[in-house]
């Protein structure tokens, strides 16, 4: 009989967002009137239409595809040159950061990239994740067999958990034991916290000292408002030798359904081989792309490229402004309830400390039942998230104003 990957059997519950979806569906089935008023502020999914510049570029691209001369079959697996160039030029070189076009790998999403990247790392690495954490980092390591079983608090044996608390501003201290792979996400999902330059310098110094690799998820960088908050790990000297960066068009360009993202793998970044030598990761990731991926569609990449046009940049800025305005309203509403509120200043997520005596799932149930609003329970992001909940600012202004009203009417 064929054997399954028993690592999957270690996974604790369903993936967080499908689990929320399941509970919301059960609630809606049982309460059809409440279902009609339901507002979703759970999953961080954008709500506003695709920017005009993107739509126009995609229309042009589809028309090209309808001609013999303009038809595109398989493209370069790593992304078309026009998009790799636009990314490297606009997101990095224009800001004084060294990233070559061929260090950009265009993909169908950062979630996929964060999981797929494990293909090019060995099995013996000691892995550090923050707690709370974007669950993909943990679950993909479980699936790859890099962990032991989960304990009763859902923490997996073999992973090093770095607590992110209100006291440390949701930026972890360096680990007390050596680690090889470190997942950092700033602006942070779920807490909305940012890491300062000094904090990232500390992590880069650690990684260089320990020959560790930082997997830096910058999916929310477009939401940074404060001038001194780093947008890229490569703003920190030395990071090209120790960090991979993930970025996405999902949250800035509204591509959650369109699917396009990218990963930067600098050519200087090297890791140890089984025989004790060192080799660069770039050719391995390149090889993985050529073997396991056939690239993002031409039409989608033309759409993504348009985000870097003058019009595209202005339209992205307008989207960010809308969602950050939403974040301000939601922060204010949660504060009016007398709750401690974090994030929401440089990120589209508001991280709320609930009243004493409620677990995260109890708060989820209460807000769903009494306000008919879907939030995300903090404990779904890890043990250190217990007692918190996350509100996503991705919604229409009308819905957010209504959520704010309903929040203020809740009695805790």
- Give contact residues for ligand MLT (rule: CB under 6 A): 43-45, 111, 189
Provide the minimum distance between the beta carbon of 44 and ligand MLT in the complex, in angstroms, as a whole number: 3
Q: Min. distance of Cβ 345 from ligand MLT in angstroms?
A: 18
Name which of 132 and 266 has its Cβ closer to ligand MLT.
132
Asked, as a colleague might, if the bond just before 187 is cis with ω within 30 of 0, I would say yes
Neighbouring C-beta atoms of residue 405, cutoff 10 Å: 11
Nearest to ligand MLT of 46, 99 (CB atom): 46
CB of 98 to ligand MLT, least distance (A): 28
**Around Cβ 215, how many Cβ atoms within 10 Å?**
24
According to DSSP, residue 211 is labeled T
Residue found by looking up tokens 């479980």 in the block: 142
- Find the shortest distance in angstroms from Cβ 292 to ligand MLT: 20
Q: Is the peptide bond before 132 cis (omega within 30 degrees of 0)?
A: yes
Radius of gyration in angstroms for the set of CA atoms belonging to the chain, rounded to a whole number: 21
Tokens matching residue 404 = 């704010």
298 vs 323, beta carbon nearer ligand MLT: 323
Q: Which is nearer to ligand MLT, 57 or 106 (CB)?
A: 106
Beta carbon of residue 19, minimum distance to ligand MLT (angstroms, whole number):
12
Give yes or no for a contact between 380 and 16, defined as CB atoms under 8 angstroms apart: yes
DSSP 3-state of 195: coil
Query: 43 or 144, CB closer to ligand MLT?
Result: 43
Contact by Cβ (8 Å): 233, 205: no
User: What DSSP letter does each residue of 253-308 carry, written as one string?
Assistant: S--TTT--EEEE--TT-EEE-TTS-EEESHHHHHHHHHHH-----HHHHHHHHHTT
- CB of residue 114 vs ligand MLT: minimum separation in angstroms? 9
What minimum distance in Å lies between the beta carbon of 257 and ligand MLT?
12
CA 68, distance to chain mean position in Å, is: 39
Nearest CB to ligand MLT, comparing residues 193 and 242: 193
DSSP-based three-state secondary structure for 109: coil
CB of 356 to ligand MLT, least distance (A): 26
Q: Which residues contact 350 (CB under 8 A, 6 or more apart)?
A: 192, 327, 330, 331, 334, 341, 342, 343, 344, 390, 391, 393
Of the two residues 189 and 301, which places its CB atom closer to ligand MLT in the complex? 189
Tell me whether residue 57 or residue 334 sits nearer to ligand MLT (CB atom): 334
Residue number, nearest CB to ligand MLT: 44
- Cβ proximity to ligand MLT: between 97 and 112 the closer is 112
CB 388 within 8 A of CB 340: no
Judge contact between 337 and 410, C-beta under 8 A. yes
Structural contact between residues 230 and 293, judged by C-beta atoms closer than 8 angstroms:
no
As measured in angstroms, the least distance from the Cβ of 83 to ligand MLT is 20
């Amino acid at each position: 009989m064929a054997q399954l990957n028993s690592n999957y059997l270690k996974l604790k519950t369903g993936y967080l967002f499908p689990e929320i979806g399941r509970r919301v569906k059960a609630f809606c089935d049982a309460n059809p009137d409440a279902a009609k008023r339901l507002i979703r502020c759970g999953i961080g999914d954008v709500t506003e239409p695709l920017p005009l510049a993107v739509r126009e570029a995609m229309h042009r691209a589809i028309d090209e595809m309808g001609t013999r001369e303009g038809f595109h079959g398989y493209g370069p697996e790593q992304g078309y040159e026009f998009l790799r160039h636009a990314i490297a030029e606009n997101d990095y070189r224009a800001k004084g950061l060294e990233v070559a076009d061929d260090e950009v790998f265009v993909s169908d999403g950062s979630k996929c990239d964060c999981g797929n990247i494990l293909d090019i790392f060995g099995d013996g690495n000691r892995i550090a994740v923050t707690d709370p954490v974007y669950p993909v980092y943990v679950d993909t390591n479980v699936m790859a067999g890099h962990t032991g079983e989960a304990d009763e608090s859902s923490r997996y044996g073999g992973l090093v958990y770095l607590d992110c608390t209100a006291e440390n501003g949701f930026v972890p201290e360096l680990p007390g034991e050596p680690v090889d792979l470190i997942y950092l996400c700033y602006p942070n999902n779920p807490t909305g916290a940012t890491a300062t330059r000094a904090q990232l310098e500390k992590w880069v110094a650690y990684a260089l000292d320990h020959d560790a690799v930082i997997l830096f998820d910058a999916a929310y960088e477009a939401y940074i408002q404060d001038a001194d908050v780093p947008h890229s790990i490569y703003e920190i000297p030395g990071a090209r030798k120790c960090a991979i960066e993930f970025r996405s068009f999902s949250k800035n360009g509204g591509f959650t359904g369109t699917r396009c993202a990218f990963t930067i793998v600098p050519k200087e970044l090297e890791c140890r081989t089984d025989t004790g030598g060192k080799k660069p990761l770039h050719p391995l990731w390149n090889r993985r792309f050529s073997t396991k991926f056939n690239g993002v569609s031409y039409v989608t990449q033309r759409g993504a490229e348009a985000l870097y046009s003058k019009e595209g940049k202005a339209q992205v800025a307008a989207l960010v402004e809308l969602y950050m305005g939403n974040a301000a309203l939601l922060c204010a509403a949660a504060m009016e309830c007398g709750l401690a509120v974090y994030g929401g200043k440089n990120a589209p997520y508001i991280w709320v400390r609930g009243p004493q005596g409620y677990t995260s799932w109890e708060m989820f149930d209460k807000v769903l039942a009494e306000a008919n609003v879907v939030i995300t329970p903090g404990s779904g992001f890890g043990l250190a998230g217990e007692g918190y909940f996350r509100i996503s600012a991705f919604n229409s202004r009308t819905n957010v104003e209504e959520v704010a009203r309903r929040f203020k009417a809740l009695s805790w």
